[in-house]
Amino acid sequence: MSFRFVAAALIALVLGLPHAAAAQRPHPSFSATVSGRGPAIILIPGLMSTGDVWTSTVARYQDRYTLHTVTLAGFGGPPPIGAPFLSRVRDELIAYIRDEKLQKPILIGHSLGGFLAFWIGATAPDLIGGIVAVDGVPFLPALGNPSATAEAMSAQAQQISTLYGSFSKEQLAAQSRMAMAALITAPADVERALTWVAQSDPKTTGMAAGEMMTTDLRGDISNITAPVLLIGATGGAPEAMRPTMEKAYAAQVAKLPSARVKIAAASRHFIMFDDPQLLFSSIDEFLAAR
């Protein structure tokens, strides 16, 4: 697996939505800010991100949908919860859907959030009305190395987890700055994302990346019964590599033939920053079909 894809797993930030009228509902592994009216959409950010990555998304859809915008523990300020992390987020989000009596919510996740959306959909298929994964895939290492397996990634994942766990917050921010330009095009958006990195917990970052690198959902997603849209981003790659990357995205959902794959060729990893028009038109089309 290339360093770029490891970096993408480790630096996926997010920005979300502080609405004055929203209700805060904290949970051990996440908090959810609720706004809008209508059918439910759950917005899940990526690594070292907060719900603020979805600010423009909430503004676009809150007159038609109820947006449940998530921020994960340890990212962007909330205190960490320790291990295991991602499986606990999965289970608590499933419990949240049941507790709040949400009727077939749409899950929209960026990066790590897309991975979680796939995992929730595969674990509790009857609860989910649809999944939009924004440059988030069932098994990240296979994007760079099609022969990668969870077992083969174990040692590297442990190294990354240990390394990031040794960082101070200042070191985490410095390390992230070097990689962020590969994930976001506009310098102002890079700076915006780095404000959340600066408040993130290094140990949680390494732990989440390691768990994602050793959890292969490519077979499990065959359990998903809801419509699925995977939006991949190839704008940060050399043109010669893009056809191979497009095939790699398609291979991620090969066990789910009904899934649709769309490529954001002009965007880097943060599609909501780099190409919001494509993101919104894709979501609009997905919601209209549903």
pLDDT in tens, 154-207: 999 999 999 999 999 999 999 999 888 899 999 999 999 999 999 999 999 999
Asked, for residue 288, whether it belongs to a domain, the answer is no
* Residue 13: per-residue pLDDT: 31
Domain assignment present for 161: yes
Residue labelled with tokens 């790699």: 248
- Counting residues of the chain whose pLDDT is more than 70, the rounded percentage is 91
pTM surpassing 0.75? yes
Q: Is residue 234 part of a domain?
A: no
Q: Domain for residue 228, yes or no?
A: no
- The enclosing domain of 270 has a CATH number of 3.40.50.1820
Q: Report d(CA 58, CA 65) in Å as an integer.
A: 9
Alpha carbon dihedral 39, 132, 33, 272, in 10-degree steps, equals -120
Q: Tell me if 189 is assigned to some domain.
A: yes
50 in any annotated domain:
yes
pLDDT tens-digit series, residues 128-169: 999 999 999 999 999 999 999 999 999 999 999 999 999 999
Is 24 a member of any domain? yes
pLDDT in tens, 18-65: 333 334 445 899 999 999 999 999 999 999 999 999 999 999 999 999
Is residue 20 one of the residues assigned to a domain?
yes
Q: What's the whole-number average pLDDT of the chain?
A: 91
CA–CA separation, 11 and 160 (whole Å):
12
Domain count, the chain: 1
Task: Name the residue range of residue 83's domain.
Answer: 3-130+140-223+240-280
CA trace torsion 7, 86, 43, 237 (10° rounding): 20
Question: Binning pLDDT at 50, 70 and 90, where does residue 237 land?
Answer: confident
Rounded Cα gap, residues 249 and 262, in angstroms: 9
